[in-house]
Structure 1
């Protein structure tokens, strides 16, 4: 099993250090949900809602934002330059040390 470390700051400012498997085809939203962090993922990871929006804090190279994610973020609340949808970030070895902050609920 090949796990990476991810730091997630929740909406109350508490930092959670998570182990995320790279061999299970999970995305960031699914990892957060598996740790019972307050990430809805209402659309099931289809980039059709923004309930898994987060802010990327660390300087990691992420996959390019797709058109669906870009359009969803254009309609979301509390969007910043570093906003991404957790469901669109696959867990890979390259993301070891990733730091994110959960966006406020709308």
Structure 2
């Protein structure tokens, strides 16, 4: 697949027979540079899957990954208000919504 922000999506399919009791998946780097494997998902061929990433302290939603593994990122200000939503696409990461709010001045 396309390389987006240094990451490349690789997909594959395999069949499991009724008599199979386990599977083994081997991922091996045979090149000279470092590689990382992230977001490994296994689900039925016609199935759907979404993943959610939450901040471990605030518990706010930070990202949502769709069926194709593309992320929607959520950015918050210091008060915890949603500031920006970004969407990962084949062309890179795009800002899809941005909002600002302010407190009125008190004289």
Larger helix proportion, structure 1 or 2? 1
Larger strand proportion, structure 1 or 2? 2
Same fold (TM over 0.5): no
Category of TM-score, reference length = shorter chain: under 0.3
Higher Cα radius of gyration: 2
- TM-score under structure 2 length normalisation: 0.21
Higher RCO (CA < 8 A, seq sep 6+) = 1
- TM-score under structure 1 length normalisation: 0.21
